[in-house]
Structure formats: structure tokens, C-alpha cells
């Protein structure tokens, strides 16, 4: 596989609403809103105004937006200061910045 800068990624813009599930093998950046589950092999980046209403499974994640659902992260999960998770979290590593909200159970593998 190529270097991180050569890998493919997908971006969902701020004014985009997706009504349905997302699956893929690439990295994904979400600034808009998703009504459905997100299942990706790569890294998920959820921007401050991004919202996911559904469960998330990913390789790694940096979250600054809102997730209303469970999060299952294979590696490192970072909740930045504006992040809000309303659901259970599973991750190998978990970093929670001051100001982030996690309302649910946490299971570190």
C-alpha cells in the first residue's frame, strides 16, 4: 500500500445530507449530515458541524462533531473538545479532550 498522502479519501461537504448507509475502504471526512451507519476500513474525520445519526465502525477516528449511535473503532479514537457521542464506544485507544461529551459506556479492547 502507498503512503498516507497517496491513499484515497472521500469528503462529504458541509451542505450535504446523506440518507442511507456509507461503506468503504478509504479514509472519510464528514462535514455534513449522515442519517445511517458509517462503516469504513480507514480513518474517519468528523468535523465540528458534522453529524452522524447511526452506528459507526472504522479503523481510526478523530471526532469533533456529533454522533447519535455506537462507535466501534479498531485503533485510536480521539474525541476533540466539541465532540458529542450519544452511544457506546469501543476502541483500542481512547483520547478525550476537555469539553468533549461521551454519554454511554466505554469498552477498551
Taking the domains of the chain in order of start, what are their residue ranges? Answer: 9-101
Long-range pairs for 57-66 at CB < 8 Å and ≥24 separation? 58/28, 65/30
Per-residue model confidence as pLDDT tens digits over 64-98 = 999 999 999 999 999 999 999 999 999 999 999 99
Does residue 1 carry a pLDDT above 60? no
Residue 78's beta-bridge partner residues? 62, 95
- Percentage of residues of the chain with pLDDT beyond 70: 94
**Cα dihedral angle (58, 87, 18, 16), rounded to 10 degrees?**
-90
Amino acid at each position: 500500500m502507498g503512503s498516507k498522502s497517496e491513499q484515497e479519501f472521500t469528503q462529504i461537504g458541509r451542505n450535504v445530507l446523506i440518507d442511507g448507509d456509507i461503506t468503504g475502504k478509504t479514509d472519510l471526512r464528514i462535514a455534513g449530515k449522515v442519517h445511517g451507519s458509517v462503516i469504513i476500513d480507514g480513518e474517519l474525520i468528523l468535523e465540528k458541524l458534522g453529524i452522524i445519526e447511526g452506528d459507526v465502525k472504522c479503523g481510526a477516528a478523530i471526532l469533533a462533531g456529533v454522533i447519535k449511535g455506537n462507535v466501534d473503532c479498531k485503533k485510536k479514537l480521539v474525541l476533540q473538545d466539541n465532540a458529542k457521542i450519544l452511544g457506546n464506544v469501543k476502541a483500542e485507544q481512547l483520547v478525550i479532550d476537555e469539553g468533549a461529551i461521551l454519554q454511554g459506556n466505554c469498552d477498551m479492547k
